[in-house]
Amino acid sequence: MNVRCIASFLLLALHSAGSMAATPAAIRAKVEHDHPGLIPAEAMDRAFGYLADHDDKVGNKNYLTIIDFTRPSTVKRCHVIDLRSGEVESLLVAHARNTGVDRAEHFSNENGSNKSSLGIYLTGELYQGKHGLSMRLDGMEPTNDNARRRAIVMHGADYVSEKVIRQQGRLGRSLACPALEMGVIERIVRELNGKSVLLIYGKESPEATTKAATRAAAPSGIDE
């Protein structure tokens, strides 16, 4: 049975289930059918694979989030997948200032690097911080296991908006956190908190293609 047939079978099973809980495999098939090419297959493999292999660690099985840092900051590259319905909400998300300018190209797990960290996270608890309601993150891999020590959280930021893109040609950049629009952050973190799976996916660039631009002084208010 080829991949297309398998996907069709899983979709049929999802629709036939009605009010019954859909399996993650059926949800993935629905996402890939409804949104072809939206999320890289490798990222889907990693996120859904972690969900399947670490069921005992995942407390919130209603949502799975994939942040695709292979796409530029002007694209809605944070994909929140509803694991009950297969619906996908795509959002703007900022990367860290030393990770790149418009594109995320360089990553680190080191404290003080001001770079984003790749890998699987489990969402933590909510708290009120300088950015308002925010959500702590726990890194589950060697590439991001310093997340708590680095205070890597999901928070809102004024430099994440379509208006900033129109003004500057890119989003602003955080110190290392995945930052969302202020208008959605409270709803999103309330949905995702409590140990749901979140993957920050990206590719390290072999060359420092944005090195000069990264070191250039950014206009006031663009970056954190």
Sequence-distant (6+) residues with CB within 8 A of 177 are 96, 151, 152, 153, 154, 155
- Which H or E run includes 211? helix 211-215
User: In this predicted model, what pLDDT tens digit does every residue of 171-210 receive, in sequence order?
Assistant: 999 999 999 999 999 999 999 999 999 999 999 988 655 5
Residue 27 scores a pLDDT above 60: yes
Domains of the chain by start residue, with CATH: 1-34 (no CATH), 40-215 (2.40.440.10)
**pLDDT for position 222:** 76
Residues 6+ apart with CB under 8 A from 223: 97, 159, 172, 173, 174
Q: Is the pTM of this model over 0.85?
A: yes
Instruction: In whole angstroms, give the CA distance from residue 166 to residue 154.
Output: 24
What is the model's pLDDT at position 209?
53
**Helix-helix angle 41-53:24-34, to 10 degrees:** 170
Instruction: Give the count of beta carbons closer than 10 Å to the beta carbon of residue 33.
Output: 15
Average pLDDT score over the chain: 89
